[in-house]
């Protein structure tokens, strides 16, 4: 969870905003607006590059699942980790 | 650095050469690398994988782009009912999907650079609904709608998105179009004369000028409609 939640925290900025595995990243109750979501993707791309892999947030595999990888912090972390493992 | 697609010929090449002459660093993209006076990289814009690959090459150059000009396009003048499905797909894949793929891949680079400009190419055939150009016009209407919507998605990131929509300009796209047909189109413009590639380049330069930073989500028709 650390990768995504660290970057979400950096984008949100306000330390008082509670973040957790179930925190929504899109739709009602999301802690991010559309600009924030793009910024999060760019941050995760940078993080992935530093970790030695490419994070593809337009991944067909990710988007074709029953629900978006951006639905929660946990879902996005799962996809981030999956792409890391796939390219290891 | 300014990225220009369709840079091996036609309007794309004219734009790339003009920008190069004006002192910009230009990276021209085309299906086959051409013997041109600017850096040239190969891409098939209708292939998402090819677009992603060439954007990796561009990133490796180490210079952040300030603008993307999507001039790659093809035309296939034919009545809709007579157009083979392969031709329909090729027109839509190149004109619409190619523009979308390039914007998707390059927009993050512009955002990282703190902003920039995207100019996509449409056509006067969209507002004039020109007979015999239904599929071509439909693909470009898609480009216009995509561009206007994208302009809202990227405005907060400092990226402007506009369209330039020329009428008949003497390029390969006009092959097979008679002088009478060209005249019948230009007669429907507000300024009833034929414009050339230099006029299109002039408008592009205006859009790329920092003083045009308030302009986004526009479709600029060369000659007016």
Query: Where do the domains of chain A lie, and which CATH numbers do they carry?
Result: 2-87 (1.10.1200)
In contact, B193 and B224? CB cutoff 8 Å:
no
Q: Does the distance separating the beta carbons of B104 and A42 come in below 8 Å?
A: no
Give yes or no: B135 in active site.
no
How many CB pairs (< 8 A) connect A and B?
A: 13
Nearest to B39 by CA among B26, B52, B48: B26
Structure tokens at B42: 């190969």
Q: Please report the pLDDT score of residue A61 as a whole number.
A: 60
Residues in chain A within 8 Å Cβ distance of B104: 58
pLDDT digits (tens, 9 = 90+) for A39-78: 999 999 999 999 999 999 887 665 655 578 998 999 999 9
Burial class (CB in 10 A: 0-12, 13-18, 19+), A19: middle
Strand partners, B28: B4, B40
pLDDT at B20: 96
Residues B29 and A54: their CA atoms lie apart, in Å, by 23
- Best of A26, A58, A61 to mutate (most B CBs within 10 Å, chain B): A58
Asked whether the beta carbons of B160 and B206 are under 8 A apart, the reply is no
Average pLDDT rounded to a whole number, residues B25-37: 89
Residue of chain A minimizing CA distance to B114? A39
Instruction: Say which of A34, A35, A42 has its CB closest to residue B112.
Output: A42
Query: Global pTM?
Result: 0.93
Please judge whether B153 and A34 are an interchain contact, meaning their C-beta atoms are less than 8 angstroms apart. Answer: yes
Say if residue B97's pLDDT is above 70. yes
B154-173 average pLDDT score = 92
Q: Which of residues 185-214 of B touch A (CB under 8 A)?
A: none
Q: Which of the residues B101, B136, B146, B195 is marked catalytic?
A: B136
Between chains, do B157 and A41 touch, taking CB under 8 Å as contact?
Answer: no
């Amino acid at each position: 969870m650390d990768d995504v939640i660290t970057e979400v925290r950096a984008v949100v900025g306000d330390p008082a905003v509670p973040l957790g595995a179930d925190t929504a990243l899109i739709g009602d109750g999301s802690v991010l607006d559309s600009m924030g979501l793009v910024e999060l993707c760019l941050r995760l791309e940078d993080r992935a590059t530093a970790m030695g892999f490419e994070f593809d947030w337009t991944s067909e595999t990710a988007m074709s699942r029953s629900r978006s990888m951006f639905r929660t912090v946990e879902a996005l972390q799962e996809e981030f980790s999956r792409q890391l493992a796939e390219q290891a | 650095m300014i990225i220009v697609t369709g840079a091996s010929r036609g309007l794309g090449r004219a734009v790339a050469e003009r920008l190069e002459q004006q002192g910009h660093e230009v990276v021209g993209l085309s299906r086959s690398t051409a013997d041109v006076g600017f850096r040239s990289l190969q891409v098939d814009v209708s292939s998402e994988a090819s677009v992603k690959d060439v954007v990796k090459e561009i990133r490796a150059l180490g210079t952040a782009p300030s603008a993307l000009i999507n001039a790659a396009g093809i035309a296939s003048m034919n009545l809709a009912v007579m157009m083979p499905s392969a031709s329909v797909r090729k027109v839509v894949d190149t004109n619409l999907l190619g523009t979308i793929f390039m914007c998707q891949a390059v927009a993050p680079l512009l955002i990282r650079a703190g902003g920039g400009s995207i100019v996509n190419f449409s056509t006067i055939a969209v507002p004039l609904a020109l007979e015999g150009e239904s599929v071509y016009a439909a693909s470009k209407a898609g480009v216009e709608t995509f561009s206007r919507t994208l302009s809202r998605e990227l405005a907060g990131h400092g990226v402007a998105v506009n369209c330039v929509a020329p009428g008949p300009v003497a390029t390969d796209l006009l092959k097979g179009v008679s002088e009478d047909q060209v005249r019948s189109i230009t007669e429907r413009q507000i300024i009833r004369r034929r414009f050339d590639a230099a006029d299109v380049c002039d408008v592009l330069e205006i859009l790329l000028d920092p003083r045009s930073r308030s302009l986004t989500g526009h479709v600029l028709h060369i000659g007016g409609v």
